């Protein structure tokens, strides 16, 4: 792909990522509001996160397969439309069960975004600087995580959370129409399954060049994504326990997401300089010990720690996403990215209710302590991954 089309594809993919990641993470602002209005337990709050993330994870692999036949623009537009419907309906929810159902609809629509967007960007930058492009793509998603929660917090304080949710649905609906017309001229039609016999033979149709390396990479991604989801789900409750006012919660989440956006962008560049393994070791170590430090700090110092913790919390993912493309045949990246995101987001969907039960039994502080230990479990896995990513991956037979 020529440089101009590559940049245009990256820009369009970044816009989509900005939209969908913002929709996903604005929920962290609304969880305490819903917990208070509907008298929810921590486990129920975790189930709401599971409903959205689980539905998001469910359709990612099928989306990768369908993209081989129908093309990414059509699926991205359809998924974005479904997300709009889900959020508009959220604004009408009268209790826990309808809220859970409508969040699942929104998550199902967003399931198309990660695998197809990552595939588009990695294909556009096949000739070089792929990891930097993926880092930029991920950075755009984190910009959405900063701006959307802040906007929702403002509208919720001014007009109520129902108006905020329905306003989101309207914005997403308008964007869904533009996505197709923006991306369609930039993206070539997929070659189809019969046109890629070499990739089809590798990895039993998945095109995975190094099964052991991909398994380790996916395991690290699962722990990293699950830990991040649990941390962000229960961070507001931890800060409320320290005495933070509810009307300042948007600021705490905003600075965390801003640090995360910086981490996504910076760590993609650091991986080009330091190497993949060293970058992962630094970010995961900083995440684990940063969570432990947050537990003992009062509210004001904790606010200064949050953006730094956000950098470490989100930085690992840029490194992992870019590395997937190096272990997979180009013709099968849509479906393998779907598998990769399903593993990570699926773990992120399963863990909040489990940690919610722990929080109900032992408190949020105990939950965060366990979470820090789980995060540090990625360090030995990163060492085992070193031969797969720092040597030459095996070629497709």
Q: What is the pLDDT of residue 294?
A: 96
Tokens representing 180 are 């197709």
Instruction: Give the whole-angstrom CA distance, residue 63 versus residue 335.
Output: 7
The closest alpha carbon to 222, from 327, 130, 351, belongs to 351
Q: pLDDT grade, residue 186 (50/70/90)?
A: low
Which range among 10-24, 121-135, 267-281 has the greatest average pLDDT?
10-24
Cα–Cα dist 8/62, whole Å: 26
Please report the DSSP string for 26-37 in residue order: THHHHHHHHHHH
Do 106 and 87 meet the contact criterion of CB atoms below 8 Å apart?
A: yes
Average pLDDT over residues 308-331: 81
In 3D space, the residue among 87, 80, 82, 84 whose CA is nearest the CA of residue 13 turns out to be 80
Q: Is residue 193 part of a domain?
A: no
Residue 194 lies in a domain: no
Q: Is residue 195 part of a domain?
A: no
Q: Is residue 151 part of a domain?
A: yes
For the stretch 30-44, pLDDT in tens is: 999 999 999 999 999
Domain range for 45 is 3-188+200-390
Query: Does 365 fall in a domain?
Result: yes
How many other C-beta atoms lie within 10 A of the C-beta of residue 311? 23
The fraction of the chain above a pLDDT of 70, given in percent, is 89
Mean pLDDT of the region 140-158: 86
Q: What is the CATH number of the domain that holds 265?
A: 1.20.1250.20
Q: What is the mean pLDDT of residues 352-373?
A: 94
Residue 10 CB: number of other CB atoms within 10 A? Answer: 21
Average pLDDT, integer, range 241-246 = 87
> Total structural domains in the chain?
1
Quick one: pLDDT at residue 291?
A: 96
Q: What is the pTM of this model?
A: 0.74
Residue 161 lies in a domain: yes
């Amino acid at each position: 792909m020529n440089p101009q089309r590559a940049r245009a594809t990256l820009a369009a993919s970044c816009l989509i990522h900005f939209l969908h990641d913002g929709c996903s993470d604005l929920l962290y602002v609304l969880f305490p509001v819903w917990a208070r209005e509907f008298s929810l337990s921590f486990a129920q709050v975790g189930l709401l996160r599971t409903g959205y993330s689980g539905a998001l994870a469910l359709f990612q692999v099928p989306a990768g397969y369908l993209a081989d036949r129908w093309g990414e623009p059509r699926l991205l537009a359809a998924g974005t439309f479904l997300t709009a419907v889900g959020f508009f309906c959220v604004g009408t929810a009268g209790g826990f069960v309808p809220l859970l159902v409508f969040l699942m609809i929104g998550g199902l629509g967003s399931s198309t975004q990660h695998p197809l967007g990552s595939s588009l960007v990695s294909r556009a930058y096949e000739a070089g600087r792929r990891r930097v492009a993926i880092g930029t793509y991920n950075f755009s998603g984190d910009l959405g995580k900063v701006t959307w929660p802040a906007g929702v917090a403002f509208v919720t304080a001014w007009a109520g959370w129902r108006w905020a949710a329905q306003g989101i649905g309207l914005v997403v609906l308008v964007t869904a129409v533009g996505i197709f017309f923006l991306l369609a001229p930039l993206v070539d039609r997929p070659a189809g399954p019969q046109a890629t016999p070499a990739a089809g033979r590798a990895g039993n149709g998945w095109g995975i060049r190094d099964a052991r390396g991909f398994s380790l990479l996916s395991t690290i991604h699962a722990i990293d994504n699950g830990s991040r989801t649990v941390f962000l789900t229960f961070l507001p409750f931890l800060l409320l326990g320290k005495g933070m006012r509810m009307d300042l919660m948007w600021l705490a989440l905003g600075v965390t997401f801003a640090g995360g956006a910086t981490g996504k962008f910076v760590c993609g560049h650091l991986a080009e300089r330091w190497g993949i393994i060293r970058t992962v070791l630094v970010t995961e170590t900083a995440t684990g010990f940063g969570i432990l430090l947050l537990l003992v700090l009062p509210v004001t110092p904790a606010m200064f720690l949050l953006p730094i913790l956000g950098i470490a919390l989100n930085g690992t993912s840029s490194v992992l996403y870019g590395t997937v493309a190096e272990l997979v045949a180009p013709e099968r990246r849509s479906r393998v990215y779907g598998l990769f995101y399903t593993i990570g987001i699926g773990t992120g969907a399963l863990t909040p209710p489990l940690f919610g039960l722990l929080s109900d039994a032992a408190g949020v502080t105990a939950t965060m302590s366990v979470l820090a230990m789980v995060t540090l479990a990625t360090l030995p896995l990163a060492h085992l991954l070193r031969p797969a990513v720092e040597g030459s991956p095996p070629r497709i037979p």
